Structure 1
Amino acid sequence: MNNTHSKAVGYVLWIFGFMGAHRFYYGRPVSATIYFFTLGLFLIGWIVDLFLIPSMDRDADRQYQAGTTSYTLAWVLLTFLGIFGLHRFYMGKWISGIVYLLTGGVFLLGIIYDYWTLNQQINEQNTTLFSR
């Protein structure tokens, strides 16, 4: 079985989960956005998620392809240094990394885009590398 995501990281992000961080990490951008705007469904969903993280981790492991690019490292780079484009440099996307570096993550809109699509971007990269 793939081990693409980390439960430990999921629980750390859960601390900030009322803003949807752990849900973005596990590839659930719609519910993560809802959590962001409702403070984790008024904190009720956030508390319930404490018990749902193991199943979200299993689902992410089934859905995404493991490979040379680490989902966890890319997410840490996006979360803490995304405005500088370090997650894009890590994935080998040098041109967009430079653009992010010079424009503050394309004025933060690129950061939002990456929160929605980072798992898919890495999955494509790992699948492409895996099939070579």
Structure 2
Amino acid sequence: MTAPVTTQKSWVVALLLCFFVGVLGAHRFYTGKVGTGVLQLITIGGFGIWAFIDLIMILVGAFRDKQGQPLVK
């Protein structure tokens, strides 16, 4: 039996994407959360509030990728 292949996403890349283009949901696309990325794109980051909350979650290490894995620092 083989272990499932998981790719871990970078904390720094997610942080930079969220800071510069977070209202477009780029950090969510990067971490594999395409559905919520599209929602952020349509709502302009939840009118900026959702993107700001995501930025804080990334900063404190609470943001996870689609598989529930923490971002790698």
What range is the shorter-chain TM-score in? 0.7 to 0.9
1:67-120 residue CA offsets vs partner (Å, 9 max, x unmatched): 711000000100111011000000111111000101110100101211221221
Which of 31, 41, 44 does residue 91 from structure 1 map onto? 31
Larger radius of gyration: 1
- Which residue does 2:53 correspond to in 1? 113
RMSD: 2.0
Unaligned ranges ≥5, structure 2: 1-6
- Which residue does 1:125 correspond to in 2? 68
Count of residue pairs brought into register by the alignment: 61
Unaligned ranges ≥5, structure 1: 1-66, 128-132
Q: Distance in 2 between matches of 1:90 and 1:117?
A: 15
Taking only the aligned residue pairs, the percentage that are identical comes to 30
Q: How does 1:58-97 map to 2 (within 5 A)?
A: 68-97=8-37
TM-score (norm 2): 0.72
Q: How does 1:32-47 map to 2 (within 5 A)?
A: none
Equivalent AA in structure 2 for residue 73 of structure 1: V
Contact 1:69-1:122 within 8 A present in 2 as well: no
Task: Decide which structure has greater helix share.
Answer: 1
- Runs (4+) of structure 1 moved beyond 6 Å? none
TM-score (norm 1): 0.42
